[in-house]
Amino acid sequence: MAEQYRDILKKDLYRFLLDKGLIDVEMAEYPELERKWEDITRSFLPEGVRQFLNNPTRSLSHMIYMGMAVARFRKTDWEHYDKIEDLYSYMCNQRGYEHLGEYIRQEVLQTEGQEEEELTALVDKCANYTVGLLKEQHLKPFTREAFRGLLFSLQVLYNMGVAMEMKR
């Protein structure tokens, strides 16, 4: 069931972002960024899962922003950022969990004003859609299947963030 959910989420977000011209038709693969996802997720999960229970949209949006940030780092100074073992904690420590999205938008992606507002709205829309689709799966909380659904969500959202930033 979780794999089917992942495929639906990926297809729906792909279409949504493609229709808005925010990603390329052919989403390139970046093995070095995929490896970072594994490290980021390991660090993210303890806080991210706890926060997901209170504010799932924020928790999921953080993974989109992380994907965008890592893609930006790859485009700008990958040699430096690739050496940072725990990029999630590195960025989270800048302003704290509550302000991670703001930090990435302003300091990493260098957005401000209307551009920042539009990015916030877009990321929130993707995260809210993901929350809704997860709820439709009727996964029992705290089960293996629910955890797999969350992991698949995080991976898809991270990859969409990467794709959006690589297109920007």
Query: Are 64 and 135 within 8 A, CB to CB?
Result: no
Instruction: Give the three-class secondary structure for 84.
Output: coil
Q: For 47-89, write each residue's pLDDT tens digit.
A: 888 888 889 999 999 999 999 999 999 999 999 999 998 999 9
Q: Compute the distance between CA of residue 41 and CA of residue 53 in angstroms, rounded to an integer.
A: 17
pLDDT, tens digit, 9 for 90 and up, residues 83-139: 998 999 999 999 999 999 999 999 999 999 999 999 999 999 999 999 999 999 888
DSSP secondary structure string for all residues of 97-152: GGGHHHHIIIIIS---HHHHHHHHHHHHHHHHHHHHHHHHTTPPTTSHHHHHHHHH
Q: pTM for the complete prediction?
A: 0.94
